[in-house]
Chains A and B, each alone.
Chain A
């Protein structure tokens, strides 16, 4: 919640009569300015916003920075179009107005709308930009209307001179069907510097978003921000995990070809049991985002990263309550992972140690060590560990 004093500079030159932005450039601009006022005051109740015009009879400050939204909206009403844009004078007057703000603790920001040709030289603008930077004033520029390169170049030079740590922005809005205000909603001018958007901007953006009922995860961020955040975070984590898994899967693809039957048979087991996972799992987030392939890759990732099993074991063991076969499958997949990485030899030896394994199984809820199926597992595991040793020996031979 940055405390800010903002001054909005409106371009009310003759060029604003143009209708390339519906209904006219001037009206689109006024709407956008009104939206900005609302957003800024909502972000922090102590924020102040002021308005001034840069063309017309001359540069004029209509409202000095105030937090009274009504006053600001009222003064936007009787504005007249005419004259030529005087950008340099406009920015300098804005800077002066901000300097005399009442609350000195507020950060200074100027938002400029440019919709007509700039008559000043690039150098003049750069000097102004440097002066703004020196006095720690941030500048946001909305470039619309004029498509000619001259304007863009000058404004980019101005931004480069002012920009301190990315606090200033330049937004180009080309003419088109989208309203000026809608385009601005998604820009950093509304969303602030990396704050991720105020509730106002997020809601407005969601409402304006094309067609679809558009809330991610079916949860309105305004109604339940914590849930929306939690879902979003888990989604991102999941994606990151899947990317890592995909990488490892690609690496292991080559290795797996060597393994042959064993691998595929154990994978069959894992796959069939993972099909039952979505059904048995009560966890919502996994349901919505996973499909079988993703699960498989996750299992592979789990099996190949040493730290992974320890983190995820608790989750899986809860699930394994219902499904002792699942527990079996998990252990098999864990073991497969240990085959691939020689550093896991300790783990495999532990698993081969029957006493240790049976104690683990006993600790798993819902798994009865006396169960015949479990005993089968143990014997098969022992066989597999023997085969694994053979594999290792053959591998070493190959390497030689």
Chain B
């Protein structure tokens, strides 16, 4: 039916890196020398030496707005290989469509999904999310609550988001149609 035809039209799951709106990206409690682009940007995230690190304590709050509405399917969080992935993140809470969250209000409302990462996940195995909760995502807030070993500092090598786009107009791509007739 129409549902089937829409799924047929639907694109396959892609890396949502291209749909991140970089002008609005924010990261709280990160060490300025090891900042968010190290974990997300193409090229940077593949580099072992470049990682995102937390500063005052082990929590991290990352806010990623998208240029268009997306559906989020799964997420890959890679931690550093050494020390048996002990300082990679453990509990990761995801909030969709909540802007400007702070550490004080992360516990005020339930997350759209929570992922407890195992060392397998930290090596690159994707975590599949509750797709139904992420059907209409304009922005994503990733709250890294603690790490594998409970140390003072959390390190993240790479964060990759996978999903599909919804057919929304990218306002930047709009071009004026020449009216010839």
**B107: Cβ under 8 A from any A Cβ:** no
| A130 B56 Cβ-Cβ under 8 A | yes
| B57 near A135: Cβ-Cβ < 8 Å | no
Q: Report yes or no: B32 in contact with A165, Cβ–Cβ below 8 A.
A: yes
Q: How far is the CA of A131 from the CA of B102 in the complex (A)?
A: 11
Identify B100's interface contact among A104, A130, A133, CB under 8 A: A104
- Per the bound structure, the CA–CA distance linking A164 and B56 in Å amounts to 10
CB distance from A297 to the nearest CB of B (A): 42
A118-137 to B contact mask, C-beta < 8 Å, 1/0 = 00000000000011011110
Residues of chain A within 8 A of B32, CB atoms compared: 164-165
**How many whole Å from A110's CB to the nearest CB in chain B?**
15
State which size class the interface on B falls in: 10 to 19
User: In whole angstroms, how far apart are the Cα atoms of A130 and B32 in the complex?
Assistant: 15
Let me know if B97 is at the binding interface, CB within 8 A. no
B31 to chain A, nearest CB (A): 9
The answer to whether B100 and A134 touch across the interface, beta carbons within 8 angstroms, is no
Most buried by A among B56, B59, B104: B56
Contact code string B99-124 (vs A, CB < 8 Å = 1, else 0): 11011100000000000000000000
A131 to B99, CA, bound (A): 20
Asked if B91 is at the interface (CB within 8 A of a chain A CB), the reply is no
A133 contacts B56, C-beta separation under 8 Å: yes
Distance in Å: Cβ of A101 to nearest Cβ of chain B: 10
Contacts A134-B28, A134-B29, A135-B28 given; indicate if A99 touches B102 (C-beta within 8 A). Answer: yes
- Chain B hits for A104, CB < 8 A: 99-100
Q: Is the CB of B57 within 8 A of A130?
A: yes
Q: Which residues of A contact B (CB under 8 A)?
A: 99, 104, 130-131, 133-136, 164-165
Other A-B pairs, 16, CB within 8 Å; known A99-B104, A134-B57, A164-B32: A99-B102, A104-B99, A130-B57, A131-B56, A133-B29, A133-B56, A134-B28, A134-B29, A134-B56, A134-B59, A134-B103, A135-B28, A135-B29, A136-B28, A136-B29, A165-B32
A-B contact pairs, 19 of them (CB 8 A): A99-B102, A99-B104, A104-B99, A104-B100, A130-B56, A130-B57, A131-B56, A133-B29, A133-B56, A134-B28, A134-B29, A134-B103, A135-B28, A135-B29, A135-B102, A135-B103, A136-B29, A164-B32, A165-B32
